[in-house]
Amino acid sequence: MLRSVFRSSRVLIGLTIVGILVVCAIFAPLIAPHDPNEQNLVSILLPPAWSEGGDPSFLLGTDSLGRDVLSRLIFGARVAMTVAVLASLGAMIVGAVLAYIAGYFGGRIDALIGRAVDVWMSFPPVILSLILMVGLGVGLRNVIFAIVAVDWTRFCRVIRSEVLVVRRKDYIAAAQLMGFSHPRVIVKEIVPATLPLLITLLSMEMGIAVIVEAILSFVGMSVSANTPAWGQMVADARQTIYEAPWNLFLPIFAIFLAVLGFNILGDGLRRTLDVRLIARGRT
Amino acid sequence: MSILAVDNLEVSARIGTARIPVVSGLGFTLQRGSVLGVVGESGAGKSMIGRAIAQILPQGFSVTGGLSFLGQDLIGMPAEQRRMLLGRDIAFVPQEPLSGLNPVLTIGAQIDEHLARLGIGAKRARRDYALDMLNAVRLPRPADILGKYAHQLSGGMCQRVLIAMAFASRPKLLIADEPTTALDVTTQSRIVELIRDLQRSEGTSVIFITHDLRLAADISDQVLVLYAGRLAEYGPAKEIFADAAHPYTRCLQLSNPSVHASRIGLYSLPDRMPGISALGSIAGCLFGPRCPNVIDACREKTPRAVSVGEGHDVACIRSDLTARIDPPLRQAIDKKPYGASLLTVESVSKTFSMTSGIFRRTNFQAVRNINFTLQQNEFVGIVGESGSGKSTVARLLCGLETATEGKLVLAGRDVTGGDKVSRQHQRAHIQMVFQDPQSALNPRRSVASIITQAMEAAGQATWRDRLAKAEALLHEVGLPSDAALRFPSELSGGQKQRVNIARALCRAPEILVADEIVSGLDVSVQAQLLNLLLRLRSERSFSMVLISHDLAVVRYLCDRVFVMHKGEFVEAGPTADVFDHPQHPYTESLLAAVPRDFVADAARRDRRNGISPADEIV
Ligand SMILES: Nc1ncnc2c1ncn2[C@@H]1O[C@H](COP(=O)(O)OP(=O)(O)O)[C@@H](O)[C@H]1O
Ligand code: SF4
Ligand SMILES: [Mg+2]
């Protein structure tokens, strides 16, 4: 099963993109040529090095305060990746645990959790996270919290319906008859059956988290202003859009690349893991 | 007049570069208005014949030979002309009802499309016509059904929709592939009745494919018995069943239990029919490796079909000895003396309250006031049609559900409450063999891990202990020990069911609850499993509650039977009494739905002639 996952070109492409971004995030201080907040007021709005008037020491040019765009992009990957990984893991844990409980025990607790999900999902997600951020104040931890609080429902709903399917299999009843306790049945019989779905949802959610973080930092509701973030860079570049369009284009491209990477990875995983699961379950 | 003439038909599969014949050298003619039953174990090529005629073969399969429908060559004719015939003059009801229906269209839309293709009626009139069709197959509330999707209907209902569609064009030939397999007796007899009615009123010819010989004998004029894609025997239905000439036919008959016959032993055909890849390695008669009459001469060349009576052909060189194949004696050892009373069920009821939303509830009483006791070594059966509450009783006994009323006493302990200690007590004494091995075996666990899951639950056991235990249990249920490390997807249906039984035996329970454990399996596999259960009882001593919609299976295994209808036991008593002299009208209707028993007639006749020393232990 694992072998066929790594034979999928989608998975490989996705992993490569995500891998590069993660390396940038982790080793940002080593890779970045400049301090991302260092202002060179003599050389503001420099174009990329290869175009006319570019400076080879600022490979992708500078912004309106003379900060090195490449370094800011590399440091921006830190925020993006941290949020992507932690927020989606958090959303997955909250959503999945509730989904397993609801789907496995059913009855009233299921109705209750289901209702909570419905109510939660009736708010537009971006508005909900904006409201949360206004209430909580800026900061990396709060961004993560806001995304978890909004997106756990996505996991809960999808996984619950999968659990309902698995729950009806006789091997679940058999495990109970063999003397497995309820938590053990969930961990040993149900979780493995939903693992492919979980992994796929997780990588999709990482892409979503990158976008949400970018939107929040675009409106200045994410990390504090002295931490570089891609959404912030887009917001900053708006004023100088005619003089320095690349300042707008580059962070958007970074966001696009991250989302693309996670989505291709998720799609590849869905195709390799899910298809096999379905084929096995049905034949 | 002959509707269909088949001559030297061959269907072959392309595997790599080789062409392997899945069906070979087949010939028969079908007269107008007559019914041909096609019988054999699964994989015999029954479906391939139907699909070859209807020209809907899977990828990579091809047909050669003569196939003429009303004098027109089906294989050679232009595709356009063939399309006109199929669906109009030749109708096909596929084996899986769900695969024959489109999941994303409503039933109404599909019927309408079908009628439009046939050019029947204007849009308005088609709806009325559709309603008439559904009425004719006796589907309740046809107007509702038109608005539903296939997955919202039961298997039997889908089957009837397909039959209705097949009959819409008043075809000259209907091919029905296992239309009744896995349906309960009542629904099954309704569908058979329907095909028969329509066949009589329209003069349709029918090819009826089934693995149930008794059903084939009942409904058909001619029967074709297939083995590994080759004709084993072909002839008049009644003659074949009264006087089987091929050892395979005879063995299939003797492995099929009977509702009416007293309890002779079941013949257990060894092994399985060879798969297509193994066919090449068998010299001479393909049935040779499993044939009780095999001699060296059989291995020399493939026997040709020879006539043994008018329109009765057999491919066997020793067919004169076939009648001497005896059902095995039913050993006295089968039966162990009863011991102490193990289980008492007193006025137990189960009401399900279904939550819809947080506060709304609706109640449904699935089991109503049932009483019974079970003694050590006793096998009791529960019969009834699907939805009568049989499986709920099973789940109550095992503690997967808690009774809403009444009392359950197991080995001297009241376990009604369903608290933790009761549950543990139940688990130590009662285990369950589940109905559908597909769903009962976790596809992600190896066989050894499944069988010894109870040891995993108890903790402590090392993998080596578990493997040793698994191998011992596999041996007991007749599987090779190398099965331990395989996964369920690598096993056949019968083998999966053995694993299912082995798992239930792991904790050496005193009671086994078995829910429909042989439904949908070939008779030969069924006979192997039933005999396995008898052998296990004599070796280990346990009691069993056998739940089945197949009355014959219950008659074969069980000493007492309970007839269940709408959640209640409507009749109870010794199996022979209940089945031979039913008191309750519902029991009568169940028995009436069972096809007439030519096999039992044959066995009785044999006994009269002193050929078969079948003994009786009642
Ligand atoms: N789609 C398929 N691909 C390859 N082999 C198949 C396929 N369908 C059936 N077979 C093989 O063809 C043979 C005859 O199958 P089938 O006609 O379905 O038997 P039956 O209907 O009697 O159970 C079997 O050996 C089976 O394994
Ligand atoms: S030819 Fe021989 S092996 Fe084949 S069925 Fe007849 S007796 Fe058996
Ligand atoms: Mg078939």
Q: What is the pLDDT of residues A32-75, one digit of tens each?
A: 888 988 888 888 888 888 888 888 888 888 888 889 999 999 99
Q: Residues B315, B307: contact at Cβ < 8 Å?
A: no
Whether residue A278 is predicted with pLDDT greater than 60 in this model: the reply is no
Which ligand gives the minimal distance to the CA of B181? 3
Q: Pick from B397, B442, B446 the residue to mutate for testing the A interface (most A CBs within 10 Å).
A: B442
**Residue B293 beta carbon below 6 angstroms from any ligand 2 atom:** yes
Query: Which residue is listed with tokens 């009425």?
Result: B135
Do A171 and B454 make contact, defined as CB atoms within 8 angstroms?
A: no
Whether residue A186 is predicted with pLDDT greater than 90 in this model: the reply is yes
**Residue B468 beta carbon below 6 angstroms from any ligand 1 atom:** no
Nearest to B432 among A107, A177, A283 (CB): A177
Confidence band (pLDDT; 50, 70, 90) for B572? very high
Q: How far is the CA of A118 from the centre of ligand 2 (A)?
A: 68
**Residue B322 beta carbon below 6 angstroms from any ligand 2 atom:** no
Q: A33 CB near a chain B CB, below 8 Å? A: no
CA distance B320 to B306: 12
The predicted model gives B317-334 an average pLDDT of 77
State residue B152's pLDDT score: 77
Structure tokens at B49: 């014949």
Short-list B333, B336, B264, CA closest to B616: B264
Write the residue with the smallest CA distance to atom 2 of ligand 1.
Answer: B58
Confidence band (pLDDT; 50, 70, 90) for B596? low
CA distance A226 to chain B (A): 49
Q: A180 CB near a chain B CB, below 8 Å? A: yes
* Tens-digit pLDDT profile for residues B441-459: 999 999 999 999 999 998 8
Chain centroid offset of residue B29 CA: 28
State residue B182's pLDDT score: 61
In DSSP terms, B307 is beta-bridged to B313
CA dihedral (B233, B235, B240, B243) positive or negative: negative
Q: Residues A244, A63: contact at Cβ < 8 Å?
A: yes
* Tens-digit pLDDT profile for residues B394-424: 999 999 999 999 999 998 889 988 888 899 9
Spell out which chain B residues touch chain A, with contact meaning CB-CB distance below 8 angstroms: 355, 357-358, 395, 398-400, 424, 427, 431-432, 434-436, 439-444, 450, 453-454, 456-458, 489, 503, 506-507
Residue of B nearest to A107 (CA): B355
The predicted model gives A99-111 an average pLDDT of 92
Ramachandran region, residue B264 (left: φ > 0; alpha: ψ -120 to 50; beta: rest): beta
State residue A78's pLDDT score: 92
With a CB cutoff of 8 Å and minimum separation 6, the contacts of B492 are B272
The predicted model gives A226-231 an average pLDDT of 90
- Complete domains list, chain A, with CATH: 2-28+64-282 (1.10.3720.10)
Nearest to B442 among A171, A176, A184 (CB): A171
Q: Which residues between 181 and 200 in chain A have a beta carbon less than 8 angstroms from any beta carbon of chain B? A: 184, 189, 192-193
Do B444 and A192 make contact, defined as CB atoms within 8 angstroms?
A: yes
State residue B605's pLDDT score: 45
Do A170 and B357 make contact, defined as CB atoms within 8 angstroms?
A: no
State residue A274's pLDDT score: 60
Whether residue B295 is predicted with pLDDT greater than 80 in this model: the reply is yes
CA dihedral (B333, B500, B260, B614) positive or negative: negative
Whether residue A29 is predicted with pLDDT greater than 80 in this model: the reply is yes
B-chain residues within 8 Å CB-CB of A113?
none
Q: How far is the CA of B7 from the centre of ligand 2 (A)?
A: 23
Q: Residues B431, A177: contact at Cβ < 8 Å?
A: yes
State residue B34's pLDDT score: 92
Q: A29 CB near a chain B CB, below 8 Å? A: no
Write the residue with the smallest CA distance to atom 14 of ligand 1.
Answer: B45
Write the residue with the smallest CA distance to atom 27 of ligand 1.
Answer: B43
* Most trustworthy range by pLDDT among B319-328, B488-497, B563-572: B563-572
Strand B72-73 and strand B18-31: pairing? unpaired
B317 SS3 class: coil
Do A178 and B457 make contact, defined as CB atoms within 8 angstroms?
A: yes
The predicted model gives B416-445 an average pLDDT of 89
Do A280 and B458 make contact, defined as CB atoms within 8 angstroms?
A: no
What type of residue sits at position A239? Q
Summary mean pLDDT of chain A? 88
In DSSP terms, B545 is beta-bridged to B380, B513
Whether residue A191 is predicted with pLDDT greater than 80 in this model: the reply is yes
Return the minimum-mean-pLDDT range out of A20-24, B144-148, B332-336, B502-506.
B332-336
Whether residue B387 is predicted with pLDDT greater than 50 in this model: the reply is yes
ipTM score of complex: 0.82
The atom number, within ligand 1, closest to the CA of B50 reads 17
Write the residue with the smallest CA distance to atom 1 of ligand 2.
Answer: B316
Whether residue A132 is predicted with pLDDT greater than 60 in this model: the reply is yes
Do B457 and A283 make contact, defined as CB atoms within 8 angstroms?
A: no
The predicted model gives B537-559 an average pLDDT of 90
Q: How far is the CA of B483 from the centre of ligand 3 (A)?
A: 26
Whether residue B615 is predicted with pLDDT greater than 80 in this model: the reply is no
State residue A283's pLDDT score: 30
State residue B433's pLDDT score: 94
B-chain residues within 8 Å CB-CB of A184?
457
**Residue B298 beta carbon below 6 angstroms from any ligand 2 atom:** yes
Higher pLDDT, B504 or B522: B504
Whether residue B357 is predicted with pLDDT greater than 90 in this model: the reply is no
CA distance B488 to chain A (A): 10
A-chain residues within 8 Å CB-CB of B457?
175, 178-180, 184
- Complete domains list, chain B, with CATH: 2-252 (3.40.50.300), 331-355+363-596 (3.40.50.300)
**Residue B50 beta carbon below 6 angstroms from any ligand 1 atom:** no
B-chain residues within 8 Å CB-CB of A174?
432, 434, 440, 453, 503
Sheet of B430-433, strand order: B430-433, B511-515, B543-548, B379-383, B560-565, B568-574
Q: What is the 3-state secondary structure (H, E, C) of chain A?
A: CHHHHHHCHHHHHHHHHHHHHHHHHHCHHHHCCCCCCCCCCCCCCCCCCCCCCCCCCCCCCECCCCCEHHHHHHHHHHHHHHHHHHHHHHHHHHHHHHHHHHHHHCHHHHHHHHHHHHHHHCCCHHHHHHHHHHHHCCCHHHHHHHHHHHHHHHHHHHHHHHHHHHHCCHHHHHHHHCCCCHHHHHHHHHHHHHHHHHHHHHHHHHHHHHHHHHHHHHCCCCCCCCCCCHHHHHHHHCCCCCCCHHHHHHHHHHHHHHHHHHHHHHHHHHHHHHHHHHHHHHC
Confidence band (pLDDT; 50, 70, 90) for B610? very low
Whether residue A152 is predicted with pLDDT greater than 50 in this model: the reply is yes
State residue A102's pLDDT score: 95
**Residue B274 beta carbon below 6 angstroms from any ligand 2 atom:** no
CB atoms within 10 A of CB A157: 18
* Tens-digit pLDDT profile for residues B214-267: 888 888 999 999 999 999 999 999 888 888 999 999 999 888 888 876 667 788
Short-list B369, B100, B367, B92, CA closest to B209: B92
- Give pTM, 2 decimals: 0.80
Chain centroid offset of residue B289 CA: 24
DSSP secondary structure string for all residues of B379-405: EEEEE--TTSSHHHHHHHHHTSS--SE
Residue of A nearest to B357 (CA): A111
Confidence band (pLDDT; 50, 70, 90) for B568? very high
